[in-house]
Amino acid sequence: MEAGLKSFLEQLPSTKLAKVYGKVTKVVGMTIESSGPLSNLGDICVIYGKQSQCRAEVIGFREGYLILVPLGEMGDIGPGADVLAMHGRLAVHCGAGLLGRIVNGLGEPMDGLGPLCDVFTREVEQAPLHPLRRRRIERPIQTGVRVIDGLLTIGDGQRVGIFAGSGVGKSTLLSMIARGTEADVNVIALVGERGREVREFIERDLGETGLKRSVVVVATSDQPALIRLKAAYVATTIAEYFRDEGMHVNFMMDSVTRFAMAQREVGLAAGEPPTARGYTPSVFAALPKLLERTGPGESGTITAFYTVLVDGDDMNDPIADTVRGILDGHIVLSRKLANAGHFPSVDVLSSVSRLFSTVADKRHQEAAKQARTWLSRYRDVEDLLRIGAYRQGADRDTDLAIEKVPDVNQLLVQETDDLTEIATTVERLAQVTGV
């Protein structure tokens, strides 16, 4: 009896003995103003309509009123609707029970397979890992894609951006990496995707085998901006859980651009001034906080691939420029190569892995350097070759490049189901280059 009373008294100070309500005073666009309840920035509230209810997040304050953005449809909310403070932030289920499951932007199951089992909750707003607690990146990780494993080798725990315009093969490349990786778990975030493409990616690109060791977080383009925004944080939190368990996680997010657009919508609704191309200051503050959460940890690692949709193939877009400066490398997809039927359409000369020299051995580095040299020399005279203006014998090194580039391209072109082990890729590259 005394033990039970002691436990009750210990829990009493943190127990909410009364429910605190506020009232809706105004709805403008996607924002709701409320007079109370007393809440902090980022807290979750529940708004009760006549027939339905919805959750909302506190994103700001204006003249003593709360500014909330709904985490769902507003439904039949009207003036004077009750707003209940939950006194906490958004949390997501984490655990082994997530493997093979598809969840929405709030971490709730949407695959019709019932509730999640063997999970616990974890807040989605987390600080990046302390830089001195991260392990160094020293070993390569296999992706199964020859152009990446051979010429743009990725380290275990590296963060890479995939930059491309629309329709150049970003999603297909992600699916190849998901199926060909040697990581323990895939965590895939589809942020702002077309509804039609979600099932296609899961069934056609990822496949049953890939899904078994994956967690897919989906927030389609028709959903509210805050849900699209939270999907990125939910997926990152799930990846962090598996990393903290000592696993090697392959994290893929498509796309950072749509995350930034959702953050812009929320920022504008909160009254922020637009800056570069209409993006608000909070966008450029949120990007490093999100992207720095992945990478190596104390025991496990998160190798991250972020796609960036560049408008009009403009690599100097504000979002592309910011992301490129944060990440540890970038893979550029070329529309010219895609139109020529060269897939994956990776522009090797415009792409770089900042850890290539760290994770690749000497022979591998020499072979990759030789292949890049040939590709560069061939590009310099490509237009002359097309019009017949180049005279063979004018430059010995260029003649060799013209002879060898078809062999290099034959190695780099790859069918989506033709996944190759990294050791095989390096050996074939060495044979082609004669190193």
DSSP per-residue string spanning 184-250? SEEEEEEEEE-HHHHHHIIIIIIHHHHHHTEEEEEEETTS-HHHHHHHHHHHHHHHHHHHHTT-EEE
Is residue 8 predicted with pLDDT exceeding 70?
no
Angle at Cα 125 formed by Cα 122 and Cα 130, nearest 5°? 100
Residue where a domain terminates, one of 359, 382, 406: 359
Q: What is the pLDDT of residues 72-89, one digit of tens each?
A: 888 788 889 999 998 889
Tell me: do 165 and 27 sit in the same domain. Answer: no
Using only the alpha carbons of the chain, give its radius of gyration.
25
Residue 310 lies in a domain: yes
DSSP class of residue 277?
G
The reply to whether the predicted model has a pTM over 0.75 is yes
CATH assignment at residue 53: 2.40.10.170
Q: What is the pLDDT of residues 215-238, one digit of tens each?
A: 999 999 999 899 999 999 999 999
Q: Which amino acid is at 338?
A: A
Question: Which of 164-173, 180-189, 322-331 has the weakest average pLDDT?
Answer: 164-173
Residue 65 lies in a domain: yes
Residue 271 lies in a domain: yes
* H or E element, residue 368: helix 362-386
Tell me: do 319 and 257 sit in the same domain. Answer: yes
Average pLDDT over residues 239-261: 95
Tell me: do 285 and 323 sit in the same domain. Answer: yes
The residue that leads in pLDDT, 313 or 59, is 59
Q: 159: pLDDT confidence band, cut at 50, 70 and 90? A: very high
CA distance 360 to 137: 12
Distances (CA, A) of 176 to 145, 185, 411, 427: 7, 15, 16, 20
The confidence score (pLDDT) of residue 204 equals: 83
Which residue segment(s) compose the domain that 49 sits in? 18-89
Is residue 4 predicted with pLDDT exceeding 90?
no
Q: 17: pLDDT confidence band, cut at 50, 70 and 90? A: low
Is residue 395 predicted with pLDDT exceeding 90?
no
Is residue 41 predicted with pLDDT exceeding 70?
yes
Residue 250 lies in a domain: yes
Q: Are strands 301-309 and 248-254 parallel, antiparallel or unpaired?
A: parallel
Max distance between CA atoms of the chain, in angstroms, equals: 98
Tell me: do 77 and 102 sit in the same domain. Answer: no
Tell me: do 193 and 277 sit in the same domain. Answer: yes
Q: Is 46 exposed, middle or buried (0-12, 13-18, 19+ CB in 10 A)?
A: middle
- By the 8 A CB rule, do 313 and 339 touch? no
The confidence score (pLDDT) of residue 286 equals: 95
Residue 13 lies in a domain: no
The confidence score (pLDDT) of residue 345 equals: 94
Is residue 303 predicted with pLDDT exceeding 60?
yes
The confidence score (pLDDT) of residue 187 equals: 96
DSSP class of residue 396?
H
CA atoms within 13 A on the CB side of 343: 17
The confidence score (pLDDT) of residue 1 equals: 52
Tell me: do 209 and 286 sit in the same domain. Answer: yes
Residue where a domain terminates, one of 332, 359, 386: 359
Question: Which of 16-20, 174-178, 284-288, 306-310 has the weakest average pLDDT?
Answer: 16-20
Tell me: do 310 and 372 sit in the same domain. Answer: no
Tokens of 77: 């909310």
The confidence score (pLDDT) of residue 93 equals: 93
Q: 143: pLDDT confidence band, cut at 50, 70 and 90? A: very high
* H or E element, residue 69: strand 65-70
Q: What is the mean pLDDT of the chain?
A: 91
Is residue 260 predicted with pLDDT exceeding 70?
yes
Q: Is 19 exposed, middle or buried (0-12, 13-18, 19+ CB in 10 A)?
A: exposed
Q: 19: pLDDT confidence band, cut at 50, 70 and 90? A: confident
Q: Which amino acid is at 193?
A: E
* H or E element, residue 26: strand 21-28
CATH assignment at residue 306: 3.40.50.12240
For 86-102, give the secondary structure using H, E and C: CCCCCEEEECHHHCCCE
Tell me: do 221 and 296 sit in the same domain. Answer: yes
Average pLDDT over residues 418-426: 94
Counted domains in the chain:
3
Tell me: do 71 and 106 sit in the same domain. Answer: no
Cα first-last separation, the chain: 79
Average pLDDT over residues 105-130: 92
CA distance 188 to 194: 15
Average pLDDT over residues 187-202: 89
Residue where a domain terminates, one of 89, 105, 135: 89
Tell me: do 205 and 59 sit in the same domain. Answer: no
What does residue 271 show for φ and ψ, rounded to 5 degrees?
A: 100, 15
